[in-house]
Structures are given as C-alpha cells and as structure tokens.
Structure 1
Amino acid sequence: MSVKKQFIKTKPVCKVTFTVEAKEANTAAVVGDFNNWNSKEGELSKLKNGTFKGVFEVNKDASYEFKYVIDGAFVNEVEADSYIWNEFAGAENSVLEV
C-alpha cells in the first residue's frame, strides 16, 4: 500500500494516488472525509499485476481521515501520515495530510 502526493501550483488541490496490493481481492476502494465515505466515489481500478490504483484531487491545507475497503473489509494504510481514534467506527483511521 502507498500514498503519493502531487501538489499543483496553479490550483489549491493535491493529486493523491492511492495504491493497494490485493491480488486476491475482487474490489477495492478508498473512503474518507474527502469523498463522504462513499465507496462508489472512491473505487480503485485493478491493474494487470493485481494492484488496485486510483488518483483523486483533494483540497490542500487539510487533514482527512480515510480507510481502504477491500472486498468489504476496512483496512488502514500502513504508510499513513498518522492515525486517529474514531469513536463512530470504534477503531483507528488512517490520516492524510495535504
């Protein structure tokens, strides 16, 4: 799993690439504050090598809680900027800072 950030000088956004290695999975998505925790909006595309990948634009100068949904299971990003306890979920969420 990985998160890559590409800041755009001409816009107040950051392009964030989420990559998940889940060769055995059928579906993967990224859900979080930036897409209202909507897995349809966060669908990742499966590449030939079995990796799932997606690029999303998020507003700069912000912090977002997020998780991956891999075949229905919620998974944290191991390379997240940090983690925060979420009372609603009863678990830690990954944090993306841009």
Structure 2
Amino acid sequence: MLKKQYLKTRPACKVTFRISKHAAKSAREIALVGDFNDWNVQATPMTALKNGEFTTVLELDTGKSEYQFRYLYDGSYWENDWEADGYVTNGVAGENGIVRI
C-alpha cells in the first residue's frame, strides 16, 4: 500500500510504503529496493511492526514523475506492491511497481 503526502515547503513527497501482515507472509525482513536507491538491496530496510506489517517512509523528489520499485523478502524473494500506481516490465524477471509523484 502506498500513501503520499506532498510537502508544502519544498518539491518533495513523503511516500509511506506498507506491506500488510497477509502480504508479508512469514518474512523476517523486507527491503524496499528501487531506482530511488540505485537498486541497492541494503539501502532501505523496512521496519517490522508488532502487528506483522512492514513499513518505511521515503521522501521523493517531485522533479521526477515516477519511480520504479520492488520488495525483497528475506534477501531472496522479489515481490511487487499489488496496489502500486502502475507496473512496467523489468526485462529480468517480471515487473516493477511504479509510484507516481
């Protein structure tokens, strides 16, 4: 799930990425990976919540209209956000989610 909050003081948008307990399955850790962090699998670990969900918040520049991303479960399994703003073929293994700013 994506939640967006546009900042009034500068050209940026705070985007909350949240994975439900059901979608997280039995993952111990989940990383948010995308073009905003150069696809670095260690750059943006998500926080595990007591209710079984995972979340993280990024501040994305509104100068770029969209960003591609995926979630990496336990360092080995890729998953999309099925509530993303769109999807694009990634040329490797499936699709990347898109968040539009």
Provide the TM-score with structure 2 as the length reference.
0.88
Q: 1:66 is matched by which residue type in structure 2?
A: F
- Show CA shifts across 1:13-44 (max 9, x none): 11010011225211101110111111222110
- Show CA shifts across 1:43-90 (max 9, x none): 101011111110111111421111011122110111111111122x23
What are the equivalent positions in structure 2 for 1:73-88 lying under 5 Å apart? 73-87=77-91
Gaps of 5+ in 2: none
Residues 4 and 17 of structure 1 are in contact (CA less than 8 Å); yes or no, is this contact kept in structure 2?
yes
- 1:42: which partner in 2? 44
Q: 1:28 is matched by which residue type in structure 2?
A: I
Count matched residues.
96
Q: Among residues 48, 56, 59, which one is paired with 1:57 in the alignment?
A: 59
- Residue aligned with 2:56, SS: strand
Q: Give RMSD over aligned pairs.
A: 1.2
What are the equivalent positions in structure 2 for 1:1-98 lying under 5 Å apart? 2-21=1-20, 22-61=24-63, 62-71=65-74, 72-87=76-91, 89-98=92-101
Gaps of 5+ in 1: none
Displacement over 4 Å in runs of 4+ = none
- Residue aligned with 2:19, SS: strand
Q: Structure 1 CA distance, aligned partners of 2:10 and 2:42?
A: 25
Q: Structure 1 CA distance, aligned partners of 2:84 and 2:25?
A: 21
Residues 23 and 49 of structure 1 are in contact (CA less than 8 Å); yes or no, is this contact kept in structure 2?
no
Provide the TM-score with structure 1 as the length reference.
0.91
Report the structure, 1 or 2, having the larger strand content: 1
Between the aligned residues of both structures, percent identity stands at 43
